Amino acid sequence: MIDLIVRMIFKVPSLRLAIFDEVNWYNSLGLIFEDPEAMKTAATFWWEPDGWRGWAQKDNGMLYFHDIPEHSIGDILEVTNREENNEA
């Protein structure tokens, strides 16, 4: 039964590519979170069709996820820096 569902889903090329893109994105996040050297990165931002999103690591080790779409990378940098300064 599961094989039938998987075959039906993967038959549509655009859906198959979207699923693989999502899996690759989650795998890359998992690798970043597990690697202490990569976690020295202060922030990561990415573009989605509705705007810029991202996350930033604060000095105390807490992660700040910004899931509200912003129009430009400058806007999201301003918001995350403001949030970091307010909570410090």
Are the C-beta atoms of 55 and 39 separated by less than 8 Å? no
Supply the pLDDT for residue 88.
46
Rounded to whole angstroms, how far apart are CA atoms 6 and 19?
11
pLDDT digits (tens, 9 = 90+) for 40-83: 666 778 888 888 888 877 777 777 788 888 888 888 878 776 65
Q: What is the DSSP letter of 37?
A: T
Asked if residue 14 has pLDDT above 80, the reply is: yes
Would you kindly state where each structural domain of the chain is located, as residue ranges?
1-36, 41-88
